[in-house]
């Protein structure tokens, strides 16, 4: 059963509101969920390749490219030679928290939930967003930077994809001593679906159609704090 709980707030498969106290863990995607941009697209702007990179990003988030790791490697390769100083410029000039992020995080922390940021984006941004929102832990990808301070066009180490996002959610539940049914997962793209499917409550935030259709809560208008209309 699908119901428009309030304008721009759709729920399916349960009756709202739910008690916030039933949950112990909340996991968030970063790009276009906690923050207003896709960081890799903005970095690509420095290389004059934003349109090319954005097209791959959009296809991956819609689920049209099923191998996220391959799509990320292809996009990062296009960043080779971009000065690493541009990361700071993106952080300072372009990146903003999405509306309601601070309110939602403050509320779930006050209720005792453990928070997780798990992103297919990059540590430069994810670690800073983690600290700004006081999120307990973050997991993301590492961009290669050479001695000259230029991006190498490579991702260092294992890539955080949809399967890894699910793995990190389950690990957070294990560490919190709870079951996955006591967790919430919030995202907007196809690579968020594995962790959203494992969580007790899945939340799509201004998401791609494929993600909205599968989520238990779809926030289509307003900020992240609209989730608090569902959780009391």
Show which residues are catalytic. 29, 31
Dihedral angle at the C-alpha atoms of 166, 29, 88, 77, nearest 10 degrees? Answer: 50
**C-alpha of 208 from chain center:** 13
**Residue pair 220/15 in contact by the 8 Å Cβ criterion:** no
**Closest Cα to residue 23, out of 154, 138, 172, 129?**
172
Residue 225, preceding peptide bond in cis (omega within 30° of 0): no
Q: Within 10 A of 58 (CB to CB), how many other CB atoms are there?
A: 15
Q: Within 10 A of 96 (CB to CB), how many other CB atoms are there?
A: 10
11-23 burial code (b ≥16 CB/10 A, e <16): bbeeeeebebeeb
């Amino acid at each position: 059963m699908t119901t428009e709980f309030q304008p721009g707030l759709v729920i399916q498969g349960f009756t709202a509101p739910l008690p916030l106290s039933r949950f112990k863990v909340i996991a968030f995607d970063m790009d276009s969920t906690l923050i207003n941009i896709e960081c890799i697209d903005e970095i690509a702007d420095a290389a004059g390749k934003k349109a090319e990179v954005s097209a791959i990003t959009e296809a991956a988030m819609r689920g049209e490219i099923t191998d996220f790791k391959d799509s990320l490697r292809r996009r990062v390769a296009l960043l080779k030679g971009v000065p690493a100083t541009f990361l700071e410029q993106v952080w300072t000039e372009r990146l903003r928290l999405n509306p309601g992020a601070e309110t939602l995080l403050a509320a779930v922390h006050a209720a005792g939930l453990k928070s997780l940021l798990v992103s297919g984006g990059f540590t430069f941004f994810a670690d800073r967003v983690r600290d700004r929102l006081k999120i307990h832990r973050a997991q993301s990808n590492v961009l290669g930077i050479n001695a000259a301070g230029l991006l190498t066009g490579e991702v260092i180490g294992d890539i955080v994809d949809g399967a890894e996002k699910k793995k990190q959610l389950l690990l957070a539940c294990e560490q919190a001593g709870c079951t996955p049914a006591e967790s919430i997962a919030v995202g907007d793209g196809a690579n968020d679906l594995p962790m959203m499917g494992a969580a007790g409550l899945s939340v799509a935030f201004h998401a791609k159609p494929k993600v909205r259709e599968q989520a238990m809560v779809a926030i289509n208008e307003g900020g992240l704090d609209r989730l608090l209309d569902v959780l009391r």
